[in-house]
Amino acid sequence: MERNRQDETLGSWFKTTIPFGIQYDEKWLLNLIQKQCSVSFTPVEFHYEKMQAQFFVENANIAFALKNVNGKIYNEANERISIFVDPCDAPHSVLKELRSEKVEQIKLPVKERHDASQQSLDIQRLCSDPDLMTRDTGMLRNPRNGMAASLQIHPWNMPKLLPLELSNKKPYQLHGLSNSMPNASNTKNLNLSNTEVKSAGEMDKGERLEPEGMCADRNPLCTSFPDKSTNIRAIRDRFPKLLRLDGQELPSPVTVDVDTPCVLKPCKGSYFGSDKLKRQVLQFLQQSSLCKYFKDSRNMKKLTDPHLRVQLLKHTNRVIVHTLCVLPKTQHDLSSFVVDTWFQTVSACFLPRAGPGSRSGRKFSGLCACLHPDLHRYPCQLLQSVHRE
């Protein structure tokens, strides 16, 4: 359908939704709506989506009139038909109108308006560019496509036009910048001065822009906030990477970094703490007969009897040594040991921990022992070798 693109009063696009509209014939439904609608409308891209019937209209006046039809139309069973109208991006078919040669036509002035060194694009100047205005690009005389064109037709971008909602007259609003602007984030500086951005919400769709600097003065937006800091906050909420606003440096943005890379630290060998300790511990290990394991498991996960828990704990030197003596002969490979000396106090108590040792193929690990500084008397305390069950 041909739309009159010369008319600069043509405004935004609106999506009309009829819930459960899938049950109605297109022609029948549109006729019904038109009968009740105070103005004549041209539906664009009528289609069914899931259970709904949807179509687009251009122009806010038409949208308003359509909204008023809600509750005034009935189906053949005399049930009320609802109709909802909401602003939206221009439909796909509209965008396709812009043919590639027209894209080429505006490429040059866009390039000239683009200060690559500053990575900035002065959209305001672009849309009032006399050079552009004189060319028969059609879409640029309708400013609503100007911004889309200017942001997309960019030296680094593929020329691909995307929907854009603009105000009735130039200059334009940010509202309507679609999510699907892939490379808009390249633009580091955004000059929106005097662009009639009326509310912060209108900037919501500029979310793919990540400017570091912005000029937003002389916008009704800026005067509607109670104070400057609220203004800054509202703008920064939408453009978190903003560093400069209206030529003024902003405090560095603070964000929450949730995606901290979490990597396991590489595992290291024995930890002794000091060389002196290392010598003492190694000497002890070589001389002691501690490196054995108990058959009677005192695994508290399985042993719940508190009486047995006490009984199985080997207490006093005499008892410990006796227990060890009745164990089968062992042969430990000290060279396979890894030792972590993980606790030292002023009284020089330390606890070496032996790692995997082999004894005729049987692995054990996790021996924990506490040694008293007087190494002539050992062991003070032997816990239990923990073997993998």
Partner 1 sequence: MAMPMDFKTYVDQACKAAEEFVNIYYETMDKRRQALTRLYLDKATLIWNGNVVTGLEALANFFDTLPSSEFQVNMLDCQPVHEQATQAQTTVLVVTSGTVKFDGNRQHYFNQSFLLTAQSTPNNTVWKIASDCFRFQDWASS
Tell me how many residues contact partner 1 (CB under 8 A): 47
C-alpha 71/C-alpha 18 separation (Å) is: 11
C-alpha 330/C-alpha 305 separation (Å) is: 30
Residue numbers 284-303 binding partner 1 by CB under 8 A: 298-301
Q: Does 268 contact partner 1 by CB under 8 A?
A: yes
Q: Closer CB to partner 1, residue 187 or residue 341?
A: 341
C-alpha 202/C-alpha 199 separation (Å) is: 5
Task: Quote the strand ranges of the chain, DSSP E.
Answer: 13-18, 44-49, 52-58, 73-74, 80-81, 84-88, 114-115, 120-121, 189-191, 213-215, 244-245, 248-249, 353-354, 357-359, 362-364, 367-370, 381-382
CB of 324 to partner 1, least distance (A): 16
CB of 294 to partner 1, least distance (A): 10
Q: Does 265 contact partner 1 by CB under 8 A?
A: yes
Q: Closer CB to partner 1, residue 37 or residue 324?
A: 324
C-alpha 43/C-alpha 274 separation (Å) is: 83
Q: Does 258 contact partner 1 by CB under 8 A?
A: no
Q: Does 386 contact partner 1 by CB under 8 A?
A: yes
Of residues 41, 1, 49, 48, the one with CA closest to residue 32: 41
Q: Which of 254, 262, 325, 326 binds partner 1 (CB under 8 A)?
A: 262
* Full DSSP string of 162-206: ------SSSS--STT--TT-TTGGG--EEE-TTS----GGGGGGG
CB of 352 to partner 1, least distance (A): 10
C-alpha 43/C-alpha 221 separation (Å) is: 32
Token pair 């040694």: residue = 371
Q: Closer CB to partner 1, residue 73 or residue 320?
A: 320
C-alpha 158/C-alpha 177 separation (Å) is: 17
Collect all residues with Cβ–Cβ distance below 8 Å to 84 and sequence separation of at least 6: 16, 17, 18, 19, 67, 70
Q: Which of 99, 125, 315, 362 binds partner 1 (CB under 8 A)?
A: 315
Q: Does 277 contact partner 1 by CB under 8 A?
A: no
Q: What phi-psi label fits residue 219: left (phi over 0), alpha (psi between -120 and 50 degrees) or beta?
A: beta
Binding mask 212-251 vs partner 1 (x if CB under 8 A, - otherwise)? ----------------------------------------
Stretch binding partner 1 (CB under 8 A), from 27-35, 188-196, 222-230, 315-323: 315-323
How many other CB atoms sit within 10 Å of the CB of residue 221? 24
271: its two tokens: 């930890």
Residue numbers 342-381 binding partner 1 by CB under 8 A: 342-343, 345-347, 349, 351, 353, 355-356, 365-366, 368, 370, 372, 380-381
Binding mask 39-58 vs partner 1 (x if CB under 8 A, - otherwise)? --------------------
CB of 290 to partner 1, least distance (A): 15
Q: Closer CB to partner 1, residue 276 or residue 309?
A: 309
Q: β-pairing, 244-245 with 213-215?
A: parallel
3-state secondary structure of 153: coil
Residue numbers 66-105 binding partner 1 by CB under 8 A: none
Q: Closer CB to partner 1, residue 50 or residue 307?
A: 307
Where on the chain is the footprint of partner 1 (CB under 8 A)?
260-271, 298-301, 306, 309-310, 313, 315-317, 338, 340, 342-343, 345-347, 349, 351, 353, 355-356, 365-366, 368, 370, 372, 380-381, 383-384, 386, 388-389
